[in-house]
Copies of this chain bind each other. A is one copy, B any other.
Amino acid sequence: MEKTLGELAALVGGELRGPADLKIRGLAPVDRATPEDLTFIAHPRFARLGEATQAGAVIVSPQWADLDKPLIVVDQPYLAYARVAALFAPARPRWTGVSDQAYLGRDVHLGRDVSVAPLVFLGDGVSLGDRVTLMPGCYIGPDTVIGDDTYLAPNVTVLERCRVGARVLIHSGAVIGADGFGFIPTPEGQMKIPQLGSVVVEDDVEIGANVTIDRGAMGETLIGRGVKIDNLVQVAHNVTLGDHTVMAAQAGVAGSTQIGQWVALGGQAGLVGHIEVGDRTQIGAQSGVTASVPPDQVLLGSPAWPIKETRRIWAGWHTLPELYRRVRKMEQQLSQLTTLLERKAET
C-alpha cells in the first residue's frame, strides 16, 4: 500500500504542510518510524521525540505545528491516526467461500459471500448474513443468527439460539451463550436452575479473547450497540450493557445488573448483581461496585466510592500509623493534665 501525504491529509480533513506528493508506505511509532512512514504526536510526552523522528511526515495538533517536518495538522491527531491506520491495516485472514471440510447442519441459511473455514461447525437452523466470516474452530449452535459482515476469529463458540448483529468482531476463545450460574442449595446438593434464555449481541460490538457472556435464565443477556469488551471479561446472565459501553480486561458483571450507555468499566472491576449503573458513569480499575450508581459518576475503590472520596481515603491510610502515634501522645498529655488538675484541686 502506498498513499501520498496529500491523499492522507484529505482523508483526515487536515491541513497539509509539506509536499502533497510525498509517498507514505506505512505507519510507525514516533521513535521507530522510517522516512517512508507517517507517525503522529498526540501527547505532550512524545513531543520532544518529534524533533528527532526519522518519519517522513507527522500528524500533529496545531500546538506542535512548528515542527520542521512535513506535517498534517489536525485538531485530534489520535483520531486522524486511527483513520489512516484503518487504511493501512492488512485485511483480516479469511477463507474463500464455504470449505467442504466445514460441518453444516440442516436448514442452514448462508448469506452472500460468506466465508466458512475448515474445522467450523454450524448447528441446524443457523443463519449467516452476507459476508460473514467464520474462522477455523468456530462453533455456532443450532438456530443462532449472525448478522452481515460479522467476523469470528478462530476458536470462537456461540451457542444455540443466540443472536449476533452486523459488523460484530468476536476474538478467539470467546464463549457466547454458556449457561448462567444459578443453583439453589438443597439438602441433596446444589440444584440447577435451567438457563432457558439467550444472548443478544447488537450491531458494531467487539468482544475480546476468552470473554464469557452467559445466556439469560429467562429472557436475554443484552450487549448493546457499539459496546466494546476487552479480554477475559465475564458478563453474567440477564445483564444489559447499554450502547457504546466499554469494559476493560478481566472486569466482571454479576447477574441481572443493568448498565447504561457510554459507561466505562476499568480492568478487573467487579459489579454485584441486580444493580443499575447510570449512563456515562466511569468505574475505575479493580473497583468493587455493590450498589446502584446514578449517571455521570466517577467511582473508584473496593468498595467503590466517588473518586475524590476514595483518593482522600487512600491518602488517609497512608498516614494512619502517624495518626495512631498522635492519638497515643494526646492520651498521655490528657492523662498528665488530668493528674495535674486533680493535684491542684487537692491543694
Instruction: Indicate if the CB atoms of B327 and A327 lie closer than 8 Å.
Output: yes
* A64 touches B (CB below 8 Å): no
Give the number of copies in the complex. 3
Residue numbers in B under 8 Å from A331 (CB-CB): 326, 330
In the complex, are the beta carbons of B123 and A193 less than 8 A apart?
no
Which residues on the B side are within 8 Å of A250 (C-beta)? Answer: 234, 250, 252, 270
Which residues of the other chain, B, contact A81 by a CB distance below 8 angstroms?
Answer: 193
Residue of B194, B204, B244 near A89 (CB, 8 A) is B194
Say whether A302 contacts B305, CB under 8 Å. no
Q: Is residue A20 within 8 Å, beta carbon to beta carbon, of the partner chain? A: no
Stretch binding the partner chain, chosen from A10-18, A26-34, A67-75, A108-116: A26-34
Q: A: which residues have CB within 8 A of B?
A: 27-29, 32, 76, 78-79, 81-82, 85-86, 88-90, 93, 101, 103, 117-119, 121, 123, 135-137, 139, 141-142, 153-155, 157, 159-160, 169, 171-173, 175, 178-179, 181, 183-186, 189-196, 204, 206, 208-210, 212, 214, 218-219, 225-226, 228, 230-232, 234, 236, 243-244, 246, 248-250, 252, 254, 262, 267-268, 270, 272, 285-286, 288, 302-303, 305, 309, 312-314, 316-321, 323-324, 326-327, 330-331, 333-334, 337-338, 340-341
Give every chain B residue within 8 A of A136 (Cβ-Cβ): 103, 121, 139
- B93 x A196 contact (CB < 8 A): no
Inter-chain CA distance A252–B303, complex, in Å, is 19
CB pair B184–A79 under 8 Å, yes or no, is yes
Residues in B whose Cβ lies below 8 Å from that of A252: 232, 249-250, 267-268
Residues from chain B with a CB closer than 8 A to the CB of A327 are 323, 326-327, 330
Cα separation A236 to B320 with both chains bound (whole Å): 35
A-B contact pairs, 28 of them (CB 8 A): A32-B218, A79-B186, A82-B184, A82-B192, A82-B194, A85-B194, A90-B160, A103-B136, A117-B121, A137-B157, A139-B155, A141-B154, A159-B172, A172-B175, A175-B231, A178-B209, A181-B249, A190-B226, A209-B212, A232-B252, A250-B252, A317-B320, A323-B323, A326-B331, A330-B330, A330-B331, A337-B338, A337-B341
Do A190 and B123 contact each other (CB < 8 Å), given the known contacts A181-B228, A212-B208, A337-B334? no
Tell me, in angstroms, the Cα distance from A314 to B88 when the chains sit together: 51
Q: Is the Cβ of B317 less than 8 Å from the Cβ of A313?
A: yes
